[in-house]
Amino acid sequence: MPKTPRPPLDLDRLRQDIVFSDTLLGHPFTFHTTWGLFSPKAVDDGTHLLLDHLEVRPDDRAIDLGCGYGPLGLAIAKAAPQGSCLMVDKDFVAVEYANANAQRNGVTNAQAILSDGLRHVPPQTFTLAVTNLPAKTSKEHYYLFFHDIRDRLAPGGRLYVVVISGLRQFIARAFEEVFGNHRKLKQGQHYTVALAERRD
């Protein structure tokens, strides 16, 4: 039997923003995203798990590394009205969408900038750092990343990460080496949330 031809793609529709709503840290958000960004149709499970175990102080100076279209950073900024959140991504499309989502949701204390890790972040220190770590990168890259974050944390500053659970033992080892401490906050079936602090 001849194959039924596939209907033509609606390219105009595919080029339109994907729009959805979610509640993060008790605040409602509407996000616009696009194909090619991480988890474009909904906030991913790892980010939700991290937010479930994240302590945000009202005056935190936070940084969200690998911010994508902004769910983590914008939620933190809303929860820290006397503080701020710098959102960082190496994808200019992500930065564009994160800044547009900040404006769209009335978040005035968050900004996204283009940077490879912390390389292009202006000199400043942070009390809180968060990241949804990519699974597909080298352990050398992770170590560089963790040392760079530690150097930018104020004394008592905290780094929260969410990572696939298969990397949890490596994260525990790396945090002990770089920070001298490690706390596993939650181990789920697919993701693990961990915390390290700068104590010197």
Q: Has residue 51 been placed in a domain? A: yes
Q: Has residue 28 been placed in a domain? A: no
Q: Has residue 19 been placed in a domain? A: no
Q: What b-and-e string marks burial along 145-160, b requiring 16 or more CB atoms within 10 Å of the CB?
A: bbebbbebbeeebbbb
Q: Has residue 10 been placed in a domain? A: no
Please choose, from the candidates 184, 161, 185, 198, the residue with its C-alpha nearest in 3D space to the C-alpha of residue 53: 185
Q: Has residue 32 been placed in a domain? A: no
Q: Has residue 17 been placed in a domain? A: no
**Domain tally, the chain:** 1
Q: Has residue 95 been placed in a domain? A: yes
Q: What is the mean pLDDT of the chain?
A: 94
Task: Give the orientation angle of helix 168-179 with respect to helix 139-152, to 10 degrees.
Answer: 40
Residue 156's domain comprises 45-197
pLDDT of residue 1: 61
Question: Residue 139's pLDDT band (boundaries 50, 70, 90)?
Answer: confident
CB 22 within 8 A of CB 31: yes
What are the tens digits of pLDDT across the range 111-124? 999 999 899 999 99
Pairwise pLDDT comparison (92 vs 189), residue with the higher score: 92
pTM of the model: 0.92
pLDDT of residue 133: 87
Q: The CATH number of the domain where 123 resides is what?
A: 3.40.50.150
